[in-house]
Amino acid sequence: MVKTNVAVIVLPYRMWPPDLAKFKFEFLTLFKLLFYKKSRTVAIIMDIEINMEHIANLLFEVRILKDIVRSGYAFLGSGKETIAEHSFMTAFICFAMARLNPGVDSEKLVAMALVHDIAEARTGDLNYVEKKYCETDEAKAVSHLVRHIPFGDEIKSLVEEFNLGESEESRLANDADQISFIMELKKLMDTGVKGPEKWLPIILGRLMTQTGQRMGEAILKTGWDEWWMNDYSE
């Protein structure tokens, strides 16, 4: 007989409430408090017929972020980055931040970074000049993007929390968003491009958390290829 620390709860589809994400969190928390130690893993399996075509459409829509270029680099006259590349770097920065801040919800932090620009699959990326003349309805874009997805409310909740910037996770994720850009500016500056030095003080001034500020300072002091040259020998 194999012993396991995983408890599995099956909830029939008819028992699902309208606010699924909130219900799942509250039910899971209550179940842990009543019956299980915190170290025990509790898995909730939702009994539902999932339309995998909707999931496939979501994946293809998110995939297009690999093809959409971030527009702000036009002001630098150099550099190029897609939204997907930026989101990956932001998510990895959040992964590191979570290990430096053990009290935060690491899963939420990384997930928030992954989806924070998901609306741009429909709206595109507007730089600060374009935003003076063009308006986008990000909430509407996200709502339409996830409307057929069983976990769509979770994605909407993460994007909303990121935009509000009130929780510790959202503040860290917003800093990671800026740090990802700082890294690109530092790389351009180290390779001889003129222009990033004008923007770096502005971006650094946006950092809100101590972790983000310390990380930003360390990046400015470190050469972009220093890791490659460490312990170099012929």
pLDDT tens per residue, range 146-162: 999 999 999 999 999 99
Asked whether residue 105 carries a pLDDT value surpassing 50, the answer given is yes
| CATH value of 55-223 in 3.40.50.2000, 3.40.1710.10, 1.10.3210.10, 1.10.238.10 | 1.10.3210.10
- What's the pLDDT tens digit per position in 6-35? 444 445 544 555 555 555 555 555 555 555
Q: Report the pLDDT value the prediction gives residue 22, as an integer from 0 to 100.
A: 53
Q: What is the mean pLDDT of residues 51-73?
A: 93
Instruction: Return the percentage of the chain with pLDDT > 70, whole number.
Output: 79
Structure tokens at 198: 């004008």
Residue ranges per domain, the chain? 7-49, 55-223
